Amino acid sequence: MPGTVRLHRVLVTTPDKVYRAFIEPDAYARWIPPNGFTGKVHEMDPKVGGKYRMSFTNFTTGNGQSFGGEYTDLQPGQRVQYKSIFDDPALAGDMVTTIDIKAVPVGTEISIVQEGIPDVIPESGCYLGWQESLLNLARLVEPEIPD
């Protein structure tokens, strides 16, 4: 049965910066790969119905995994939702990831739900990967660096 993970974070930044980190290719490739992986965005058209493609490469082994999908809901500063499909047939099925973004008194609250995780990926491994990625996200969006 496909799995689901839920994550929640509060970051000291604005909803706009968090939203942009999900839809700007260079930013996304910088923070989304979990530790030990590099990421490359091959295509990103951030609009409802727009497509994206990217790949992760294991820095130790050089092995990679490609995947892509479609944006199903985009609300600037509030929500990013997309479905993903892995190229590897062993990882069959659609995953749906929903990121809700909300301003709170100390910054921005992020709630993530990823559903339809293929059976061969342990939910605990997916959860760990997201935790690592969210630390990278904080490193990208929290600093306020003047021009």
The answer on pLDDT for 1 being more than 80 is no
The domain made up of 3-141 has a fold known as Alpha-D-Glucose-1,6-Bisphosphate; Chain A, domain 4 (3.30.530)
Strand partners, 43: 53
Q: Are 66 and 53 in contact (CB under 8 A)?
A: yes
pTM for this predicted structure: 0.93
> What would the two tokens of residue 145 be?
């660096």
Q: For 56-100, how does the pLDDT look when each residue is reduced to its tens digit (9 = 90+)?
A: 999 999 999 999 999 999 999 999 999 999 999 888 889 999 999
User: Which pLDDT tens digit goes with each residue over 111-143?
Assistant: 999 999 988 889 999 999 999 999 999 999 999
Domain boundaries, the chain: 3-141
Q: How far is CA 48 from CA 18, 23, 71, 100, in A?
A: 18, 12, 5, 16
